[in-house]
Amino acid sequence: MQVSGTTLEDMTLESQLSDVDVEMADSISDSDSSKKSRVQVEKRDGRVVDFDQMNIIMAIKAAFKDLRKEVGPQEEQMIRDITDHIEAEIQDRYNGPAKIEDIQTLVEHGLIENHLYEVARCYTSYRLNRDIDRAKATDINEAVNRLVNRDESLVRENANKDSNVYATQRDLLAGAVSKASAFSMLPHAVSNAHMKGDIHFHDADYSPFTCMSNCSLPDFGDMLAKGFALGNAMMDSPKSIGTAATQVTQIIKDIAGAQYGGQTVNRADEMLEPYAKCDYDKNLAMAHAMIPDSTPIEVAKDMIDGLKAQEPKNLHCSDRDPLPADTPFDENLSELDQIREIYAKIMTRKAIYDAMQTMEYQINSNRVSNGQTPFVTVGFGLGTSWFAREIQRAILLNRIRGLGKDRHTAIFPKLVFTIKHGVNADAGDPNYDLKQLALECST
């Protein structure tokens, strides 16, 4: 078929081409519209993000809330109109991303033009205060002034530091300078997020301004076994659990002065076991001197009964159930030698208790160079030998008893009792009784 010299096929092709042209035009139009509607913002930390009207809407509503003004339907529409106008103005005025400060100025003008004068004043004040806070955070002079004026948020920031102590005051001064410098050194995104409260950059009074390390897991066992240098002294391996406990607290104090985080004494019961064994060997030798071969069995037994009667007082646990009767390590020995072993056990238990008490008191009475008590965690609970069990018991009994005549609970060390099936988790496990004692200690 032919119409005015044009075939139906030609008309159909022409129609198809026309449709393609329309589609391409629509596509180009949509692309231009999308490109035009995409407004970007440069944040204070340098990031470029898409414009989000909701940020402006929430800021204006926050100003209404501060003034105790209701945001009704009319105010809601006015806020929307202001926000739409700001977005359109940014599109017309900026070829690239708009800066936050410029957008805030547009918000203020929009509020004034709509006769929301008090809201504009509140919004402006909030903006100014935020700018001042940001400036203060990196101002060393401001940080020092806050310390001089004993700003509560500064002098009481760390409960482990007594701000009345001179060493602590010097540390707070150094920390204030370090913190102000830190927020200048950190990436803008991190500093800004910290100041907004989105994150908390911990230990800014030390890091990243100083090169000190954070928390650590020192190898106390290796140092005790092989000896170590501390200050101007070379320490040998200890020959008793009392000396071992003292050396541990000396190491703790030295490390705490060279870092700003906590430290852990891992598996303390097993680590200290060899030094308790040293005490046992010495006490067994003493038992041979106190109970010679000529000693009648009944006299030797009376001596043991006397020691056991004094044990609750010696271990400060008179108000508790008595400890189980002791048995010798080797029941194949002669009866007198078995009594000697029991004598050595009782004396060693007292030495272990005193050593753990010494460690608790020394940790809590020590102050390192920044004026704070060393932040220490002691882990234990997996040793199943007699010595390791007695060390566990002594740690827990000392903590339950408390410090001083008023029996204050010690702040440090933090005690971490490890629970494991086959060791202490279930009734019948060798250390189940100590887990029960640990539960009592935790409550």
The two three-digit tokens of residue 333, written as one number: 């020995």
- Statement to judge: residues 284 and 429 lie in one domain: yes
CA 144 → CA 147, 185, 317, 407, distances in Å? 5, 18, 50, 39
Number of domains into which the chain is organized: 3
The two three-digit tokens of residue 5, written as one number: 């010299």
- Statement to judge: residues 123 and 164 lie in one domain: no
The two three-digit tokens of residue 118, written as one number: 């008090």
Q: Is residue 392 part of a domain?
A: yes
Sequence-distant (≥ 6) Cβ neighbours of residue 306 within 8 angstroms:
none
Sequence-distant (≥ 6) Cβ neighbours of residue 373 within 8 angstroms:
160, 363, 364, 366, 367, 411, 412
Looking at residue 233, its amino acid is A
Q: Is residue 125 part of a domain?
A: yes
φ, ψ of residue 214 to 5 degrees: the values are -95, -145
DSSP code for 208: T
370: left (phi over 0), alpha (psi -120 to 50) or beta: alpha
In which element (H, E) is residue 99 found? strand 98-99
CA 111 → CA 53, 84, 129, 130, 214, distances in Å? 15, 13, 19, 19, 49
pLDDT digits (tens, 9 = 90+) for 402-422: 999 899 999 899 999 999 999
Q: Is residue 29 part of a domain?
A: no
Strands (E), 207-284: 228-230, 233-235, 263-265
- Statement to judge: residues 387 and 324 lie in one domain: yes
Neighbours of 391 (CB within 10 A): 28
CA 122 → CA 32, 104, 106, 419, distances in Å? 38, 13, 15, 57
- Statement to judge: residues 129 and 150 lie in one domain: no
> In angstroms, rounded to a whole number, what is the distance separating the alpha carbons of residues 6 and 195?
75
Please tell me the predicted confidence (pLDDT) of residue 91. 87
Counting Cα atoms < 13 Å in the Cβ hemisphere of 32 gives 6
> In angstroms, rounded to a whole number, what is the distance separating the alpha carbons of residues 56 and 46?
19
Residue from 317, 318, 322, 326 nearest 397 by CA: 317
> In angstroms, rounded to a whole number, what is the distance separating the alpha carbons of residues 72 and 74?
5
Please tell me the predicted confidence (pLDDT) of residue 27. 44
- Statement to judge: residues 434 and 347 lie in one domain: yes
The average confidence (pLDDT) of the chain is 84
Instruction: Return per-residue pLDDT of the chain as tens, 443 residues.
Output: 444 444 434 433 344 434 444 444 444 444 444 444 578 888 766 778 898 889 889 989 988 988 888 888 889 999 999 999 988 988 888 888 888 888 888 988 889 899 888 988 888 888 777 766 666 655 556 666 666 666 666 556 665 566 666 566 766 766 777 777 777 778 878 877 887 788 888 887 777 777 777 889 999 999 999 999 998 999 999 999 999 999 999 999 999 888 888 999 999 999 999 999 999 999 999 999 999 999 999 999 999 999 999 999 999 888 888 888 899 999 999 999 999 999 999 999 999 999 999 999 999 998 776 667 889 999 999 999 999 999 999 999 999 999 998 999 998 999 999 999 999 999 999 999 999 999 999 98
Counting Cα atoms < 13 Å in the Cβ hemisphere of 388 gives 16
- Statement to judge: residues 252 and 323 lie in one domain: yes
Task: Decide: helix, strand or coil at residue 298.
Answer: helix
> In angstroms, rounded to a whole number, what is the distance separating the alpha carbons of residues 274 and 244?
10
Kindly report the CATH number assigned to the domain that includes residue 284: 3.20.70.20
Q: Is residue 297 part of a domain?
A: yes
Q: Is residue 205 part of a domain?
A: no
- Statement to judge: residues 44 and 95 lie in one domain: yes
Contact between 401 and 316 under an 8 Å Cβ cutoff? The reply is yes
Domain ranges, residue 74: 40-133
Please tell me the predicted confidence (pLDDT) of residue 191. 79
Q: Is residue 21 part of a domain?
A: no
Neighbours of 423 (CB within 10 A): 18
Contact between 282 and 345 under an 8 Å Cβ cutoff? The reply is no
Helix (H), strand (E), coil (C) string for 44-66: CCCCEEECCHHHHHHHHHHHHHH
Please tell me the predicted confidence (pLDDT) of residue 356. 98
- Statement to judge: residues 44 and 109 lie in one domain: yes
- Statement to judge: residues 280 and 362 lie in one domain: yes
Strands (E), 194-284: 228-230, 233-235, 263-265
DSSP code for 237: P
- Statement to judge: residues 276 and 396 lie in one domain: yes
- Statement to judge: residues 259 and 127 lie in one domain: no
Please tell me the predicted confidence (pLDDT) of residue 16. 43
Domain boundary among 133, 162, 179: 133
> In angstroms, rounded to a whole number, what is the distance separating the alpha carbons of residues 169 and 371?
8
> In angstroms, rounded to a whole number, what is the distance separating the alpha carbons of residues 21 and 238?
93
Domain boundary among 86, 106, 133: 133
- Statement to judge: residues 235 and 367 lie in one domain: yes
Q: Is residue 171 part of a domain?
A: yes
Neighbours of 275 (CB within 10 A): 27
Q: Is residue 286 part of a domain?
A: yes
